[in-house]
Amino acid sequence: MSFFESTAFEGHEALHAFNDQRSGLKCFIAIHSTARGPATGGCRMWAYAGEQAAVDDALKLSRAMSYKNAIADLDLGGGKAVIIGDARTAKTPALFEAFGGAVDTLGGTYWGAEDVGVTPEDLAYAARRTRYMAGLTGRPASSGDPSPVTAEGVKRGIEMTVKKVLDRSLSGVTIAIQGVGHVGARLAEKLAAAGAKLYVTDLHEATARAVAAKVGAQAVPPHAIYDTDALVFAPCALGGAISRETLPRIRARIIAGAANNQLADAEVGRAIYDRGTVYAPDFVLNAGGIINIAAEIRALAEGGAYDPDWVELKLERMTVTLSEVLDRSVRERRPTDVIANEIARERIAAARG
């Protein structure tokens, strides 16, 4: 089977590779679809085991962004950038300026934003070389760090799902958060403020302990988060957390978190459904950040300012869409991820005409 016929590449429009020897930039930008608008998605910096791992991640994430943008009803397509490197030790202004130059060569078919390992401060260097960068500060259109809006959307989605499934508020509900980085830490704060009881973990255990101390949670080692007695399991780290190996250990009634590509494969979605656990599809639940970015791109296109009211309306609609997906799953007796994927594909196909 050729690369273009592979499952990983299926449906993509393009995959770009960039190598800048002066700065050390090694980067892939995947463009899944521009049917609804410019491909938009964050830039991730990670110490990948190899180039193929980086390519695979870029392709998976760009497809997820297409679905996320479509189901959030945004005039954007899906793309993703990944930079190979340790974000704790390999960042330099020159590297991100080179990244901006790479983005600029695509002529607006891709807009970048922050993701794992990348901050708005990093993107400010990229913006020196391209205008196709969002999630910045210091201008009327700026939306800033999208993490707080992502966390707010996930909190609302969890709250709605808990009410629908358990018929109770978040007060006293035990939630296990896997990963307390930019989004996970803010989500922990919001859930704790709503009265939830939290378990938290992170690959960087000092980070988990610091967040736990701040919000009154219990920090547990990364391998132990699956074995807690939580009613809600919230994956907020990297993808693939829910697999055929980890699912049997999860006792939660609900799986709902901020991570992208939470399911290791499609079979896991069916297994979650068959055992009676409710899964809030990740690309429905975690769309708050890209909604925030969409508001900035919209403002830039119109020469206006960032509109928080527009963002609020989209967040409200996102929660309604999640509710509709959960209801259809019950009514049609099908997994939630299958239904959400169908909705997204239908909207992308309609845009293609």
Same domain, 29 and 175: no
Q: What local confidence, expressed as pLDDT, does residue 146 receive?
A: 83
- Tell me how far apart the alpha carbons of residues 278 and 274 are, in angstroms, rounded to a whole number: 10
Residue 71 domain-assigned (yes or no): no
Same domain, 204 and 327: yes
Of the listed ranges 196-200, 236-240, 268-272, the one predicted with least confidence: 236-240
Same domain, 123 and 179: no
CB neighbours (10 Å) of residue 254? 22
- Tell me how far apart the alpha carbons of residues 41 and 61 are, in angstroms, rounded to a whole number: 8
Instruction: Name the pLDDT band for 16 (thresholds 50, 70, 90).
Output: very high
* Whether pLDDT at 199 is above 70: yes
User: Token digits for 39?
Assistant: 């491909």
pLDDT tens digits, residue range 245-295?
999 999 999 999 999 889 998 899 999 999 999 999 999 999 999 999 999
Q: What local confidence, expressed as pLDDT, does residue 1 receive?
A: 55
Same domain, 238 and 273: yes
Instruction: Name the pLDDT band for 147 (thresholds 50, 70, 90).
Output: confident
Q: Choose among 168, 160, 175, 163: nearest CA to 230.
A: 175
Beta-carbon contacts of residue 5 (< 8 Å; ≥ 6 apart)? none
Chain-centroid distance of CA 95 in Å reads: 24
Percent of the chain with pLDDT over 90: 89
Q: Name the helix (H) or strand (E) containing 197.
A: strand 197-201
pLDDT tens digits, residue range 287-343?
999 999 999 999 999 999 999 999 999 999 999 999 999 999 999 999 999 999 999
The pLDDT mean for the chain works out to 95
Residue 140 domain-assigned (yes or no): no
Q: Left if phi > 0, otherwise alpha if psi is -120 to 50, otherwise beta: which for 37?
A: left
What is the CATH number for 272? Answer: 3.40.50.720
Last residue of a domain, one of 90, 106, 133: 133
Domain residues for the domain of 111 are 3-63+76-133
Q: What local confidence, expressed as pLDDT, does residue 90 receive?
A: 95
Same domain, 195 and 342: yes
Give the strand pairing for 14-20 and 25-33. Answer: antiparallel
Domain count, the chain: 2
The pTM for the full model equals 0.89
Residue 316 domain-assigned (yes or no): no
More confident call, 152 vs 143: 152
Same domain, 95 and 17: yes
The 8-class DSSP code of residue 258 comes to: S
- Tell me how far apart the alpha carbons of residues 52 and 152 are, in angstroms, rounded to a whole number: 34
Same domain, 105 and 190: no
CB distance 348 to 36 below 8 Å: yes
Same domain, 118 and 244: no
Which amino acids are annotated catalytic? Answer: 80
Same domain, 107 and 156: no
Give the strand pairing for 77-84 and 25-33. Answer: antiparallel
Residue keyed to tokens 């891709």? 110
pLDDT tens digits, residue range 173-197?
999 999 999 899 999 999 999 999 9
Q: Name the helix (H) or strand (E) containing 178.
A: strand 174-178
Residue 344 domain-assigned (yes or no): yes
Residue 339 domain-assigned (yes or no): yes
What is the CATH number for 125? Answer: 3.40.50.10860
CB-facing half-sphere around the CA of 265: CA atoms within 13 A: 5
Same domain, 236 and 271: yes
pLDDT tens digits, residue range 282-299?
999 999 999 999 999 999
- End-to-end Cα spacing for the chain: 29
User: Token digits for 72?
Assistant: 């959030």
- Tell me how far apart the alpha carbons of residues 318 and 341 are, in angstroms, rounded to a whole number: 15
User: Coil, helix or strand for 331?
Assistant: helix
Q: What is each CA distance from 279 to 157, 165, 173, 251, in whole angstroms?
A: 11, 11, 17, 13
Same domain, 100 and 156: no
Chain-centroid distance of CA 132 in Å reads: 20
